[in-house]
């Protein structure tokens, strides 16, 4: 038996490919917008996380180009040593101001922000408590941490309280997605904070899908609930509403100071490239100066939720721009993905191991820049294919 055998014996994805049902690593040859060129074909994009539609905004692109002209293409080092630019500091100030915390620190990706913060903060004999539907980067941060992970049932506050009771007030960090990335529902933050106060736990909210979506000027879930002061850590990514790549943690000055000197995912990894940093600054400015974009995102979201539901689709607990269509059976889900693709609609199927075999779904997501005509065209296809496959 060789270490490499597992690769040569790995056939799951190849079997799916051979059947013509392979929805991954699709080649896109255009900008990430409401329409994309995918495998040589124009498709309506209902699978992007660019909720505000800013990845192709002229001011965002111009900021990136100017930053490359001034700073070059990369920083060739970590923030800790030679990789801190003035625009990194400016961005961190803006982010802290937006989410209402004293300071912020940027990581090269959102994944690393979760990994770096959680693994640094939860030490030996301490606990990290996660929702069963939390993002993989939270789980991976918990695996890397020296403390122990305990998981509660999705958004089930009785299940969370049972765990908090069990660990009897020992140091713990509850980490939740603000908006859950597949379900599109919102964390029950008011109760989570109440329980955290009762049992002396700290709270961290992952705002990946809620920045630019919830809260005043897109400040996120904690702002939406007015619970910023009671939430120790606010985490966000730049890869969704903020039109780039990278992530951040915002918290009190002492906490950020600690992370800056202890977080290995930050210290031992290169800093955010100039173009990404400048794009995020430009996107943040547009997001705050043009609240009508967020209003349009919600108009599109509410329209699609209502139309899907009246057609007979099961959208679960979604109440945000992330709208899953719960299909159940895996082959039906793959068939739906294929038929939608043939009709020019790009969506993401969610199948095992991401979900149990009988809980497959089609994940759709909506953008402020989708037009009513585009959404109506999509609905027409969903109606036709849903009937064809006996889903609705």
If the CB atoms of residues 362 and 375 are measured against ligand PMP, the closer one turns out to be: 362
If the CB atoms of residues 280 and 294 are measured against ligand PMP, the closer one turns out to be: 280
The span from the CA of 127 to the CA of 145, in Å, is 9
CA distances to 54, 99, 134 from 219, rounded to whole Å, are: 16, 5, 20
Degrees to nearest 5, angle at CA 47 with 111 and 131: 45
Q: Tell me the closest approach of the beta carbon of residue 213 to ligand PMP, in angstroms.
A: 12
Please list the active-site residues: 181, 209, 240
Q: Tell me the closest approach of the beta carbon of residue 305 to ligand PMP, in angstroms.
A: 20
Q: Tell me the closest approach of the beta carbon of residue 166 to ligand PMP, in angstroms.
A: 26
Which stretch of DSSP H or E encloses residue 175? strand 172-177
**Structural contact between residues 114 and 237, judged by C-beta atoms closer than 8 angstroms:** no
If the CB atoms of residues 138 and 304 are measured against ligand PMP, the closer one turns out to be: 138
User: Hey, what are 34's tokens?
Assistant: 């409401």
Degrees to nearest 5, angle at CA 11 with 6 and 12: 110
Which residue has the CB atom at the shortest distance from ligand PMP? Answer: 110
If the CB atoms of residues 163 and 211 are measured against ligand PMP, the closer one turns out to be: 211
SS3 letters across 240-284? CCCCCCCEEEEECHHHHHHHHHHCHHHHCCECCCHHHHHHHHHHH
Secondary-structure breakdown of the chain: helix, strand, coil percentages, each rounded to the nearest 5? 45, 15, 40
If the CB atoms of residues 38 and 208 are measured against ligand PMP, the closer one turns out to be: 208
Q: Tell me the closest approach of the beta carbon of residue 350 to ligand PMP, in angstroms.
A: 12
If the CB atoms of residues 63 and 176 are measured against ligand PMP, the closer one turns out to be: 176
Residue reference for tokens 């890397």? 144
Instruction: Tell me the sheet residues that pair with 43.
Output: 36
Number of Cβ within a 10 Å radius of residue 237:
28
If the CB atoms of residues 111 and 199 are measured against ligand PMP, the closer one turns out to be: 111
Residues that bind ligand PMP in the complex, under the rule CB under 6 A: 109-111, 114, 135, 137, 177, 181, 206, 208-209, 237, 239, 247
* Rg, the chain, Cα only: 21
The span from the CA of 126 to the CA of 45, in Å, is 43
**Structural contact between residues 233 and 204, judged by C-beta atoms closer than 8 angstroms:** yes
Q: Tell me the closest approach of the beta carbon of residue 168 to ligand PMP, in angstroms.
A: 30
**Structural contact between residues 66 and 72, judged by C-beta atoms closer than 8 angstroms:** no
Q: Tell me the closest approach of the beta carbon of residue 15 to ligand PMP, in angstroms.
A: 26
For the sheet with 103-107, list strands across it: 103-107, 247-251, 233-237, 202-206, 172-177, 127-131, 148-152
Instruction: List phi, psi (to 5°) of 234.
Output: -115, 125
Q: Tell me the closest approach of the beta carbon of residue 178 to ligand PMP, in angstroms.
A: 8
């Amino acid at each position: 038996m060789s270490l490499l055998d597992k690769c040569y014996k790995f056939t799951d994805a190849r079997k799916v490919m051979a059947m013509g049902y392979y929805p991954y690593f699709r080649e896109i040859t255009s900008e990430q917008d409401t329409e994309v060129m995918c495998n040589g074909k124009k498709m309506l994009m209902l699978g992007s996380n660019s909720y505000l539609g800013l990845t192709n905004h002229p001011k965002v692109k111009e900021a990136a180009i100017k930053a490359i002209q001034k700073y070059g293409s990369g920083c060739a080092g970590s923030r800790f040593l030679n990789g801190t630019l003035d625009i990194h500091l400016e961005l961190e100030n803006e982010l802290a101001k937006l989410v209402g915390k004293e300071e912020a620190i940027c990581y090269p990706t959102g994944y690393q922000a979760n990994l770096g913060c959680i693994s640094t903060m939860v030490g030996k004999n301490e606990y990290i408590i996660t929702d069963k539907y939390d993002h993989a980067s939270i789980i991976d941060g918990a695996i890397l941490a020296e403390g122990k992970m305990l998981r509660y049932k999705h958004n089930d506050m009785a299940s969370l309280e049972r765990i908090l009771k069990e660990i009897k007030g020992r140091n713990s960090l509850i980490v939740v997605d603000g908006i859950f990335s597949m379900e599109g529902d919102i964390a029950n933050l008011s109760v989570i904070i109440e329980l955290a106060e009762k049992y002396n736990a700290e709270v961290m909210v992952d705002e990946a899908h809620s920045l630019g979506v919830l809260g005043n000027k897109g400040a996120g879930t904690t702002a939406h609930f007015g619970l910023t002061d009671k939430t120790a850590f606010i985490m966000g990514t730049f890869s969704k509403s903020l039109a780039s790549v990278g992530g951040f943690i915002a918290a009190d000055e002492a906490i950020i100071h600690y992370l800056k000197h202890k977080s290995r995912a930050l210290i031992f990894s290169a800093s955010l490239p100039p173009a990404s940093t400048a794009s995020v600054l430009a996107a943040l400015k547009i997001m705050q100066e043009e609240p009508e974009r967020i209003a349009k995102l919600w108009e599109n979201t509410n329209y699609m939720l209502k139309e899907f539901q009246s057609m007979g689709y099961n959208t679960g607990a979604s109440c945000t721009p992330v709208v899953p269509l719960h299909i159940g059976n895996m082959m039906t889900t793959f068939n739906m993905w294929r038929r939608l693709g043939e009709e020019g609609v790009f969506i993401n199927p969610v199948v095992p191991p991401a979900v149990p075999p009988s809980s497959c779904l089609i994940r759709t997501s909506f953008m402020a820049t989708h037009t009513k005509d585009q959404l109506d065209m999509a609905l027409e296809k969903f109606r036709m294919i849903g009937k064809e496959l006996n889903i609705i």
